[in-house]
Amino acid sequence: MKERLQQSISAETPEMVPVLSKEEIQKKIVSLARQISADYQNDRLLLIAVLKGAFIFLSDLVRQLTIPVEIDFIQLSSYGQSDSSCGDIRFCSDISSDIKGKNIIVVEDIIDTGLTITKLVAHLKSLGPKNVRVCVLIDKYERREIAFKADYICHTVKNGFLVGYGLDYAENYRNLPAIYDLKS
Ligand code: IMP
Ligand code: MG
């Protein structure tokens, strides 16, 4: 039923252009996980996923890691019905662990203007971790307002509004197993 619904979404909605298939996403995640596992082989690591968009990416990524990790979550306010960031980012729910002295990787769904991730990294750094790196599913660079380079990037696009695999438009499409560009 769910499969049929998902097929009909892609078939009957011509404005959804495929960007990454399930298989392509998994391939890229395997290679990212290999890189992270090698980089933190002799270190403790805490992954902090940004809700809600990164929930699927995190769950696939952690299952490919070959090192022990701790996991936490942080939730930031979203665009609401709009499709662009206003720079006024609020923390809806903060992390529950003490990150002092720890190696952190923030797991984020997408970096667009760069405002959200810049503010989040500054917030985490103020809590005294050993270091903070960023792993992002989609690096979308055309609208960047603050220079920001993620340490681990699953896929890069120039522009578009992407949905699926955790990414939403007004809370819809997060459950799609692949990533699409939603044409308006
Ligand atoms: P930034 O502050 O402009 O970098 O926006 C980052 C946040 O906006 C991301 O964490 C997403 O939640 C959301 N966002 C930006 N672009 C897209 C997109 O193409 N699809 C879905 N969400 C997006
Ligand atoms: Mg987000």
> What is the rounded distance in angstroms from the CA atom of residue 12 to the CA atom of residue 144?
32
Residue ranges of alpha helices (H) inside 13-155 are 22-39, 55-62, 115-125
Predicted pLDDT of residue 82: 53
The predicted-structure confidence for 133-158, as pLDDT tens digits, reads as follows: 999 999 999 999 999 999 999 999 99
Output the CA torsion 134→149→86→95 (10° steps). Answer: 10
Q: In this predicted model, what pLDDT tens digit does every residue of 10-21 receive, in sequence order?
A: 545 559 999 999
Looking up tokens 């810049």 gives 118
Q: 93 to each of 54, 90, 100, 184, how far by Cα in Å?
A: 15, 9, 18, 31
Is 112 in the active site? yes
Q: Is the distance from CB of 157 to CB of 148 less than 8 angstroms?
A: no
User: Do 2 and 177 meet the contact criterion of CB atoms below 8 Å apart?
Assistant: no
In eight-state DSSP terms, residue 71 is E
108 Cα nearest atom in ligand 1: 10
Contact call for residues 135 and 105 (beta carbons, < 8 A):
yes
Query: Which stretches does DSSP call E strand in 6-151?
Result: 16-20, 45-51, 70-76, 91-93, 103-111, 131-140
Residues 6+ apart with CB under 8 A from 107: 47, 48, 49, 50, 54, 57, 58, 61, 135, 136
Please give the average per-residue pLDDT across 104-120, as a whole number.
Answer: 96
pTM for the full predicted model: 0.89
**From atom 20 of ligand 1, which residue's Cα is the shortest distance away?**
162
For the chain, which domains are there?
18-177 (3.40.50.2020)
Mutate which of 112, 113, 156, 167 for ligand 1 pocket (most atoms within 8 A of beta carbon): 112
Choose one of 16, 20, 50, 116 to mutate for the ligand 1 pocket test, by most ligand atoms within 8 angstroms of C-beta. 116
Tell me, in angstroms, the distance from the centre of ligand 2 to residue 71's CA: 17
Q: How large a percentage of the chain has pLDDT more than 70?
A: 86
